[in-house]
Amino acid sequence: MTTVETAQEQSIPSTSTESLQPTQNGSTTRSRGISIGTTASAMTSTSALSSASQSFVTAVSGKASDSNLDQRQTEFEKNFTKRMDLEPLTSFGADPATAHSFPLPDDYMTIIATQAADLQASILIHGRLCLTRYHLCFRSNILGIITMKVHALSDVVSIKKGTTAKWIQNAVYVRVRELDDNDEWVEQHYGYGSLWNRDSLYDALVECWRVRAPDRFKAFVDAEGLESENIDLEDMDGQEEEQIVGSGDGSGPIPIITKGSGERFKELALNVKFPLDLDQTFNLLYHNRDFTNHFYTTDKGLTDLKISEWEKDGSEGNQRRTLNYTMHMNNSIGPKSSSCNGSEIIVIADPQKAYEIVSETQTPDVPTGKNFKIRTRTCLTHDSLNNKQATKIHCTTQVDWSSSSMLKGTITPAVIKGQKEHHQQLIKAMTSWVKDHPEEFEGMDKEEVEIKHEEDPVLPEDTVNEKVGKTLLQYAGEIPENPVMLGITILFLILLLLNLRGSL
């Protein structure tokens, strides 16, 4: 690994750094590249991403970037506009003799993915990694010490997934051809770790490299293969591809990946990818009466089921429907059944992005059943499964209490457990229904119906801190409502008083 160049902020030159230009005798000389700030062109470069490549990069770069992309773009232009190591302009299709007058592409300084990263040198140097369609750039500012790296994608030799601390899968390794102090071409290795979404950044980086340096990309893939299922290797002859991610044979459309509003309840009940497109999944869950009746009456064993039609609710115009049924229980003590009153409201209905449905259920016949409601938020978004269009189903739930109860500490975890089991039953029923009724779902092969369970999403740091900070208080607050905890607390206090009395 090479020594990392560092400099004080005030000592970095304000002019653009040098690039190589071939002379008439075939040698190379160093000449200043034109200022990026002077390039305002509407030209379409022959080296630019194809429409299919651009669609793929757009799809993955959203997942490969953290928040505040506009702010990151502003910071990137401020820090790199006059300091970027410009590539030889011949790479954009210009004649070397007239390269000085050839304008750079308009998107030359546009970030398509960015994440915080650590440069793996003799010590880890924390900074930010930014990917454009032409460069991979790193910048760090630690106590005024600036470290900058600019890797031209046309000079990249290999890109591999790597690890941090030998086992944490969050790094990318890049090998690049560079000129040393003697103007000799050498290959340098760089490692960037602590990436929060390494795989998405890797996919975007590899696709941009593939377009910028197709020969090196092909040589690398032929020698070592590719560590991604998202890059289609069917067409490697330099011709523009029809699709980058498709149905397995390159003929299908590029899967769309979207996100919901981000609103959620406290507990995760379900997080899966289902092999239907968004509208098909939404209609199956909320507009297919045959499936709904079969699931509730046959799979769940409910009786007296009544489901209203969807109607506009309130001034906001959200669609709402009610569900009423009788739930039967196998409790050794207590009621054997309970009436259930529920409602579902479609709070977001955007076929291009997401459907989000909030449901509320109350069971008045169970002990203290009138004091709590079960709330669930179901978020359906576009996603990809096995390089095909799919739907991500993300359900969260919580129990809202309107008044205190001695059974709160017992009922709440039991309800959450029941909600998780209910949603697992629902996914199983959906899978069976699609397999048994393939004619209802265009393009669906019943032999290919499978689901993918996703890992639990990481809670935001403030949410985690809030939960940790309230743990003891929550336990203390539940003592009066839980007879077991109350008895243990009283017994502990009696023993403590006896011990103190005996010591006096």
Each residue of 19-40: pLDDT tens digit? 333 333 333 333 323 333 333 3
- Residue 463: predicted pLDDT: 39
Indicate the angle between helix axes 198-212 and 51-61, nearest 10 degrees: 160
- Residue 94: predicted pLDDT: 46
Q: Over pLDDT 90: what percentage of the chain?
A: 25
Residue 295 DSSP class: I
Range of weakest confidence among 32-36, 233-237, 400-404, 480-484: 32-36
Beta-carbon contacts of 96 under 8 Å, excluding residues fewer than 6 positions away, are: 21, 22, 88, 90
- Residue 55: predicted pLDDT: 61
Distance CA 504, CA 501 (A): 5
Distance CA 64, CA 58 (A): 10
Residue 335 DSSP class: -
Smallest Cα–Cα separation from 3: which of 164, 194, 180? 180
Segment 193-216 mean pLDDT:
87
In the sheet that 185-193 helps form, which strands lie side by side, from edge to edge?
A: 6-8, 145-152, 135-142, 124-131, 113-120, 185-193, 168-179, 156-164
- Residue 482: predicted pLDDT: 58
When pLDDT is cut at 50, 70 and 90, the band that residue 366 belongs to is confident
Residue 467 DSSP class: H
Domains of the chain, first to last: 6-17+50-224 (2.30.29.30), 267-457 (3.30.530.20), 461-504 (no CATH)
pLDDT digits (tens, 9 = 90+) for 295-349: 999 998 889 999 999 998 776 778 999 999 998 877 655 677 888 999 999 999 9
Indicate if the pLDDT at residue 350 is higher than 80: yes
Beta-carbon contacts of 336 under 8 Å, excluding residues fewer than 6 positions away, are: 328, 329
Q: Are the beta carbons of 80 and 139 closer than 8 angstroms?
A: yes
Q: Are the beta carbons of 13 and 146 closer than 8 angstroms?
A: no
- Residue 466: predicted pLDDT: 39
- Residue 84: predicted pLDDT: 61
Range of weakest confidence among 39-43, 158-162, 244-248, 275-279: 39-43
329 or 144, which is more confident? 144
When pLDDT is cut at 50, 70 and 90, the band that residue 408 belongs to is confident
496 or 156, which is more confident? 156
Q: Is the dihedral of CA 487, 490, 493, 499 positive or negative?
A: negative
Q: Are the beta carbons of 60 and 258 closer than 8 angstroms?
A: no
- Residue 328: predicted pLDDT: 83
What distances in angstroms separate CA 77 from CA 38, 71, 83, 137, 164, one per listed residue?
13, 10, 10, 11, 29
Indicate if the pLDDT at residue 455 is higher than 60: no
